[in-house]
């Protein structure tokens, strides 16, 4: 006998969850499409350049970069491999333990980051921030904090 499945979420809960997922997916897709079209650079590659540009000495351990990007170690390795071939980053052995590596932003990578950044920021504002008041932004910040999202 087949039983009907009762939803465990209220319509409001389901709408909140689906809205979050859809908004994220659509905004990320649009930002990626724009960077690809205007600069030939994927959003994930831009994010690598961003994290390295913001890091002390423009370098991060590969494991820190993977954590920041929410990628697996192998995923970030493949991404850094590609960026290294393009001359945007380089690897340096970690002197402290001799096993790990740093991803380091190259001069070419820094120039590429500065070139692409205005396009990314304009797209981010147009697709997300302009739709939110300062109160909305504060409310979202409170939600992310309440959920334990690391905003650093």
- The secondary structure of residue 98, as a DSSP letter, is S
10-residue block means of pLDDT along the chain (152 residues)?
Answer: 64 93 96 97 96 95 89 89 96 80 96 98 97 96 93 78
CATH no. for 20-130: 1.10.10.10
Q: Which residue has the tokens 């590659």?
A: 45
Distances, alpha carbon 86 to alpha carbons 60, 89, 93, 116, in Å: 18, 8, 19, 15
The pLDDT of residue 1: 47
**pLDDT, tens digit (0-9, with 9 covering 90-100), for 8-46:** 889 999 999 999 999 999 999 999 999 999 999 999 999
Nearest to 60 by CA among 111, 109, 94: 94
User: How many Cα atoms are found within 13 Å in the side-chain-facing hemisphere of 2?
Assistant: 2
Per-domain boundaries in the chain? 20-130
């Amino acid at each position: 006998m087949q039983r009907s499945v009762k939803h465990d979420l209220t319509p409001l809960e389901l709408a909140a969850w689906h809205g979050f997922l859809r908004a994220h997916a659509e905004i990320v897709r649009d930002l990626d499409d724009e960077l690809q079209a205007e600069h030939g650079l994927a959003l994930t590659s831009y994010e690598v350049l961003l994290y390295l540009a913001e890091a002390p000495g423009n370098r991060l351990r590969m494991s820190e970069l993977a954590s920041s990007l929410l990628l697996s170690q192998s995923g970030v390795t493949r991404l850094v491999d590609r960026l290294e071939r393009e001359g945007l980053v380089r690897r340096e052995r970690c002197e402290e333990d001799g096993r790990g590596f740093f991803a380091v932003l190259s001069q070419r990578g820094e120039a590429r980051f500065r070139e692409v950044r205005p396009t990314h920021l304009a797209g981010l504002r147009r697709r997300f921030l302009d739709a939110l008041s300062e109160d909305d932004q504060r409310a979202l910040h409170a939600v992310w904090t309440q959920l334990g999202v690391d905003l650093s």
